[in-house]
Structure 1
Amino acid sequence: MKAFMRIAGCVAAVWGCAVGAQEDYRPAGTGQPTDAVAPAAPADEPRREPRVEEPSLGLYVLIGGGVEGYAGQLSPRVDTGFTYGASVGYRAMPFLALELGYNGSINNLDANGSLVAKGDLGSGPDLVRNGGQLLVLGMAPLERVQPFVLTGIGFDRYTVRHDAPPGGKTHFRDDTAGYIPVGLGLRVQITRRLAADARVAYHFLFDQDFASTSATPNALDGRYMGLLQFGGTY
């Protein structure tokens, strides 16, 4: 009798452990294993497409610097120099923006008009330019990387601080003139508000009276520039 009671006790203990293990494997009130696969979504549920952000619209400000030089018969007479600028623009639509900007540059003159610069004619830059321009930008309506084209109209004020000595091929003087800029650029939205803007442009000069040369000026006697700017949209 005692042996039977011992065997019954052992069976009851094993049964209790098995039931306890089964209860731990199934979540309370579900009766399903914890690793059961979740039911699939209904087949007729619409698929969600990823949301695409539109380019930042509104007012923006840019400021930066780069390099500027002259082409044609002005190339050997004016050395490549430093350019700087600041712009305030308004992007009314994803593909169109208007921009009002200031830009200037400082260059040294080549006294002999040769391809190798002979040094400054005086202390500091020889030719200082200050100008303003109104641009129209046609922009790709993309979210992050936005290529664009630009054109417009601008005006310059040239100030000659040191002129070439007598006998030089070119005579420089103070002057005010206009130009038509044409260029390409790439704007990168670093964040929703912060952007980097890189552009290259060629300026077709209305005249080159600031640099009197022996040859007749033409459209190739222009100015080129590369500019890197940073700014934000507000």
Structure 2
Amino acid sequence: MSASKISRWAASTASITALSALASAALVLTSASTAVAAPPKLVSITIKAVVDEVIDTAGVLCADVEPGDTITGTYVYNTRTRDHNDADHVADYSYKTTPYGIKLRVNGMAVRTDPAKVDFLVELVNDDPVVGYDAYSIASYSNLPFRCGSPVDFIGWSLADLSGTALSTTALGKKGPRIAAFNSTFELIVEGWTKGFYRIRAHVTSARA
């Protein structure tokens, strides 16, 4: 694979039209098995976010969430995971087992990667040769529903820097992304569509190991 796997939901962001054109079909193609060298080097990143928008025109979201609410949580990856992308400027780190994945509390209500069917990706893009951007993305494609019943089909967070200065490598770091280094954000998204569409959109205010 040579294309970046930037999330499909980022394609609607007007300020990055050129970027999304390169990556529109990408993240959903992640199925590669993970090869992890020993000993494991686990990294847990704690994030905090504030909800900006809740879209639920079909009335399928049972969780009580509204703009201004807080999202907190952690995601876990391994710095020794091998890159499964053949492109020099893109690295895809895929995880299929626990303890990897993401756990969130959305206004106190838990959502998380399904520990029985982990499908979690961390992707880094450094100096894209066409547009020149850097990007940092995480995505979870297999998740447990809200306790009240609403399915969670996707959890993702992505950052972009159109100047190409935020990252100097596609290697996984021990501290997570420096939010201030990215000048364009794709925000944190929790969404479902199997029983009707809803989306919770938030901006991350901190990410720390």
TM range (shorter): 0.3 to 0.5
Q: Which protein is richer in strand relative to its size?
A: 1
Relative CO higher for 1 or 2, CA cutoff 8 Å, sep ≥ 6? 2
TM-score, with length taken from structure 1: 0.40
